[in-house]
Amino acid sequence: MLTMYSTTWCGYCHRLKSQFDREQIPYEVIDIERDENAAAYVMEVNGGNQTVPTVRFPDGSALTNPNIAQVRQRLASIAGN
């Protein structure tokens, strides 16, 4: 399952969530403003920035502010391994 690191006010996050729902891609959302460990992870993979949405994939890789095509491509790549 995907993990999306988000905030309540992030428009890009809301858009990506609706795309996940439309594509029936299962995911969980973690609000980095409520979870210090999540905020630290996002900063670690984004050069010290709290950039959202950051999506973590089941293989441990991450994409920052991906579009739905990039997410589908990464999922297909993971499934192919």
pLDDT digits (tens, 9 = 90+) for 15-60: 999 999 999 999 999 999 999 999 999 999 999 999 999 999 999 9
In the DSSP assignment, the letter for residue 6 is: E
Can you give the pLDDT at residue 80?
A: 84
pLDDT digits (tens, 9 = 90+) for 60-74: 999 999 999 999 999
Residue 52 to residue 24: CA distance in whole angstroms: 21
Domain range list for the chain: 2-80
Residue 16 to residue 64: CA distance in whole angstroms: 11
pTM over 0.85: yes
Residue 57 to residue 2: CA distance in whole angstroms: 5
Q: Give the CATH fold of the 2-80 domain.
A: Glutaredoxin (3.40.30)
pLDDT tier for residue 81 given thresholds of 50, 70 and 90: low
